[in-house]
């Protein structure tokens, strides 16, 4: 939502944007060094701050390519309290490796997942034992020159001014979309109109005339508990706990199915403490219902797991999500481009 205060911050956005523009030009003109590697590297990123669906896209790409190649996922591990290179294990703690890498490892136990704030250092450690490295949220990591960039935009971001910090929600300039090899508009309505597609494509074509532009939406799967058992949320009274950047689509989805929803919202990558758990439990206990659960996101579940004992008899359920393209043609186009790019890189002498 745009307010008068945001417009007052525009001069500061101009300063921030100028610094970002200069930094990018220094890399473009090779005045600052960027490294490339012989192993294929695919970067998944965005220009805005969170909430564009990088995790579902990472999982989509990993699910598709790990059938053909020995894949590693490399992430910064946002929100962790550790530094340096670490390999993620299924029993790792989110505080040590980050919630999203831990989510990836639990979904793909046979895929190597690692965290390192310096992506080049991470690639150095992973490249010998893998055929392909997928980097989550590394579009602004200009020290790396990847083979392929997948750039994501939230559909709703095109309905408001696309300014950088602090007036807007973008951390990079829209012109930097020129570096993408494919652009995916995420969180679209399933019935997105041709007019909306044309409007978005027209805006992006000012900066990138060649990259295919595809449209996708979030798919919600059956909620599951800690034992992997599906839990029906129809007509249940739900305490919904979110610590993500843009929870409203999930709130809307759950509200359509549940009898009632009590939403407790925390900031993105929130580090839960006992006071937060106490608040969740008290909200649950305040519901006058015999058919109630605590429901959270996959990402938040990774950070809540260490507190499961405090929930006692309360069932903690999480809602898996995925990415789907708006039509089969775009799904096939995206997968074919990935296959061709990786195959070409892998087969290079």
Q: What is the pLDDT of residues 96-139, one digit of tens each?
A: 999 999 999 999 999 999 999 999 999 999 999 999 999 999 99
pLDDT at 230: 95
pLDDT band at 251 (very low <50, low <70, confident <90, very high): very high
φ/ψ of 63, rounded to 5, equals -60, -40
Q: How far apart are CA 343 and CA 337, in angstroms?
A: 10
Quick one: 52 and 150 in the same domain?
yes
Q: How far apart are CA 125 and CA 171, in angstroms?
A: 29
Quick one: 107 and 230 in the same domain?
no
Q: Which residue has the tokens 């007509």?
A: 235
Token couple for 142: 């200009």
| Closest CA relative to residue 314, chosen from 183, 225, 198 | 225
pLDDT at 344: 82
Contact 167, 13 (CB under 8 A): yes
- DSSP letters spanning 20-47: HHHHHHHHHTTSS--B--SS-EEEEEES
Quick one: 56 and 118 in the same domain?
yes
Q: Which residues partner with 48 through β-bridges?
A: 170
* DSSP code, position 157: G
Q: How far apart are CA 12 and CA 306, in angstroms?
A: 41
Q: What is the pLDDT of residues 153-171, one digit of tens each?
A: 999 999 988 999 999 999 9
Quick one: 73 and 116 in the same domain?
yes
Quick one: 145 and 188 in the same domain?
yes
Quick one: 280 and 238 in the same domain?
yes
Quick one: 137 and 255 in the same domain?
no
| Closest CA relative to residue 142, chosen from 115, 103, 172 | 172
pLDDT band at 1 (very low <50, low <70, confident <90, very high): low
Mode of pairing for the β-strands spanning 316-319 and 260-265: unpaired
pLDDT band at 348 (very low <50, low <70, confident <90, very high): low
| Closest CA relative to residue 129, chosen from 58, 39, 63, 43 | 39
Q: How far apart are CA 85 and CA 77, in angstroms?
A: 10
Output the CA–CA distances (angstroms, integers) from residue 121 to 100, 102, 124, 148, in the order listed.
20, 20, 5, 19
Quick one: 50 and 121 in the same domain?
yes
Token couple for 322: 């995925």
Which residues lie closer than 8 Å to 229 by C-beta, 6 or more apart? Answer: none
Quick one: 28 and 175 in the same domain?
yes
Quick one: 274 and 333 in the same domain?
no
Quick one: 315 and 329 in the same domain?
no
Contact 82, 116 (CB under 8 A): no
Say whether pLDDT at 2 is over 60: no
Q: What is the pLDDT of residues 204-239, one digit of tens each?
A: 999 999 999 999 999 999 999 988 899 999 999 999
Q: How far apart are CA 263 and CA 266, in angstroms?
A: 10
Q: How far apart are CA 103 and CA 113, in angstroms?
A: 10
Token couple for 147: 């083979």
List the domain range (segments joined by +) for residue 278. Answer: 224-319
Share of the chain above pLDDT 70, in %: 98
- Give me the number of domains the chain comprises: 2
SS3 18: helix
- CATH for 16: 3.40.50.300
- CATH for 314: 3.40.50
Token couple for 1: 């939502």
Quick one: 167 and 248 in the same domain?
no
pLDDT at 178: 98
């Amino acid at each position: 939502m745009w307010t008068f205060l945001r417009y007052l911050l525009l001069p500061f956005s101009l300063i921030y944007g100028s610094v970002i523009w200069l930094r990018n030009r220094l890399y473009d003109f090779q005045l600052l060094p960027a490294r490339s590697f012989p192993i294929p590297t695919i970067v998944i990123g965005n220009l805005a701050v969170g909430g564009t669906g990088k995790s579902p896209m990472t999982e989509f790409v990993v699910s598709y390519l790990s059938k053909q190649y020995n894949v590693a996922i490399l992430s910064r591990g946002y929100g962790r309290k550790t530094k340096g290179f670490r390999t993620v294990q299924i029993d790792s703690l989110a505080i040590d490796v980050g919630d999203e890498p831990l989510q990836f490892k639990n979904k793909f136990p046979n895929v190597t997942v690692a965290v390192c704030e310096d992506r080049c250092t991470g690639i150095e450690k992973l490249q010998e034992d893998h055929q392909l490295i997928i980097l989550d949220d590394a579009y602004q990591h200009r020290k790396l020159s990847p083979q392929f960039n997948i750039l994501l935009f939230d559909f709703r971001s095109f309905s408001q001014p696309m300014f950088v910090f602090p007036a807007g929600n973008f951390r990079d300039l829209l012109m930097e979309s020129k570096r993408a090899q494919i652009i995916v508009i995420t969180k679209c309505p399933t019935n997105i109109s041709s007019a909306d597609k044309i409007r978005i494509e027209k805006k992006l074509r000012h900066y990138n005339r060649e990259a295919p532009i595809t449209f996708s939406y979030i798919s919600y799967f059956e909620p599951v508990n800690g034992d992997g058992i599906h839990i029906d949320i129809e007509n249940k009274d739900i305490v919904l706990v979110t610590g993500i950047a843009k929870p409203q689509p999930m709130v809307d989805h759950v509200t359509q199915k549940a009898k009632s929803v009590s939403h407790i919202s925390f900031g993105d990558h929130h580090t839960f403490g006992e006071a937060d758990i106490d608040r969740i439990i008290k909200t649950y206990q305040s519901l006058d219902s015999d058919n109630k659960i605590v429901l959270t996101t996959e990402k938040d579940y990774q950070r809540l797991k260490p507190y499961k004992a405090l929930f006692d008899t309360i069932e903690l359920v999480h809602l898996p999500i995925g990415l789907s393209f708006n039509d089969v043609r775009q799904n096939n186009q995206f997968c074919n481009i990935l296959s061709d790019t990786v195959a070409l890189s892998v087969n290079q002498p």
